[in-house]
Amino acid sequence: MTAPTGKQLDTLREVVNIGIGKAASILNGMLESHIELEVPSIIMFDPENPGEELPDVSCNDLSSVQLDFHGPFSGSSALVFPSESVGKLVTALTGEEPGSEGFDEETTGTLYEVGNILINAVMGSIANLLAVQIDFLPPNYKEGKFSDLIKLKDSKEDLASLLIRANFNVQEPLISGNIFLVFELDSFGELLTAIDNL
């Protein structure tokens, strides 16, 4: 793989930033609360052993909605919440309280659709900016530890990936979450070409 230049990484970070901004704007409208965003970080990443690069997501109690994508470049995108944020998010969106009848079913369905909306906002903005079409597989909802959630489908076990991470925090109710984009390195050249064409 050709190593990305500083300029390409800068552009990639900004393209992702615009996509995250679009997703935050949607979440802001849904929750009617301010969303704080952090600048996306770009990390070379081993999906089998995320602990070193991502020490704060090494807990085992995470919920995630994941969409795999294919097109000029391939990979996976995920919206990841610590479990304590999930209940607050679902209550804020549906009015259902944890422990009420049907709350678990409501949680899965709501996270599935919220993840679908927010991830598509990010990836759709990126695709529009780069003038490419990205196709998605239907979303998956998963619970567990980070290394299981973020594993790429069909990828070789030892294949390193390029991971882009953006953290966000909702002010009221207090909800934290992460959006992860994992690009398979064998398709990363196509992404850099699209960036160079901007």
Partner 1 sequence: MAKILVIDDAKFTRTMLKRMITEFGHESIEAENGREGLEKITSEDPDLVLTDILMPEMDGTELLSLLRETNMDVKVIVISANIQDTIRDQCMNLGVSEFFGKPPDKEKLKKAIEGILAKEEQDS
Where do we find the tokens 């030892």? 158
Torsion of CA 15, 17, 20, 25, to 10 degrees: -110
Q: Should residue 103 be labelled a site residue for partner 1 when binding is judged by CB under 8 A?
A: no
Decide: is 92 part of the binding site for partner 1 (CB under 8 A).
no
Nearer to partner 1, 4 or 177 (CB): 177
Q: Does 110 bind partner 1 (CB under 8 A)?
A: yes
- Is the distance from CB of 193 to CB of 73 less than 8 angstroms? no
28 binds partner 1 (CB under 8 A): no
What's the CA gap between 25 and 121, in Å, rounded?
10
Beta strands in 31-102 (DSSP E): 35-37, 41-45, 62-70, 75-82
Per CB under 8 A, does 120 bind partner 1? Answer: yes
| CA–CA distance, 184 with 154 (Å, rounded to integer) | 10
Nearer to partner 1, 54 or 123 (CB): 123
- Cβ nearer to partner 1, comparing 52 with 135: 135
Taking CB under 8 A as the rule, does residue 42 contact partner 1? no
| Orientation angle between helical segments 188-196 and 103-130, nearest 10 degrees | 50
- Complex with partner 1: residue 15 or 127, whichever CB lies closer: 127
Task: State which residue, 1 or 198, has the beta carbon closest to partner 1.
Answer: 198
| Identified binder of partner 1 from the candidate list 109, 145, 151, 159, rule CB under 8 A | 109
Specify the residue for token string 């770009």: 42
Residues lying near partner 1 in the complex (CB under 8 A): 26, 29-30, 93-94, 109-110, 112-114, 116-117, 119-121, 124-125, 127-128, 133-134, 136, 138
